Amino acid sequence: MPNNANTKRSHVHVDELNKALSSGTFIQLRRLLNNLPASEVAHLFESSPPKTRMVMWRLVDLDNEGEILHYLSDEIQSQFLRQMDTEEVVTITEGLEADDIADILQQLPDRVIQEVLQSMDHQDRQRVEQVLSYPEDTAGGLMNTDSITVRPKITLDVVLRYLRRHDELPEMIENIFVVNRRDEFLGVLPLRKVLVSDPSITVREIMNTDVEAIPAHMHDSNVANLFERYDWVSAPVIDDNGKLLGRITIDDVVDVIREDADHSLLSMAGLDEDEDTFGPVLKTATRRTLWLGINLITAFIASAVINLFEDALDKVVALAILMPIVASMGGVAGTQTLTVVIRGMALGHVGRHNSRWLVAKELSVGIFNGLCWSIVVALAAAYWFDDLLIGYIIAGAMAINLITASFAGAIIPIGLRSMRVDPALAGSVVLTTVTDVIGFTSFLGLATWFYI
Q: Which amino acid is at 362?
A: E
Q: Which residues have CB under 8 Å from 330's CB, separation 6+?
A: 401, 402, 404, 405, 435, 436, 438, 439
- Ordered by start, the domain boundaries in the chain are 3-142, 149-267, 281-451
pLDDT, one tens digit per residue, over 223-249 is 998 998 888 999 999 999 999 999 999
- Specify the pLDDT at position 107: 84
What kind of fold does domain 3-142 have according to CATH? MgtE N-terminal fold (1.25.60)
CA distance 102 to 127: 9
CA distance 94 to 394: 68
- Specify the pLDDT at position 79: 85
String of DSSP letters for 89-130: HHHHHTT--HHHHHHHHTTS-HHHHHHHHHTS-HHHHHHHHH
Q: Which of 36, 1, 2 is nearest to 16 (CA)?
A: 36
CA distance 347 to 341: 10
**φ, ψ at 117 (rounded to 5°):** -65, -40
3-class state of residue 153 by DSSP: coil
3-class state of residue 224 by DSSP: helix
CATH code of the domain made up of 281-451: 1.10.357.20
Burial class for 352, CB neighbours closer than 10 Å (0-12, 13-18, 19+) = exposed
Second-level CATH architecture of 149-267: Roll (3.10)
Could you say which residues of the chain have pLDDT below 50? Answer: 1-2
Q: Which of 91, 95, 92, 86 is nearest to 115 (CA)?
A: 86
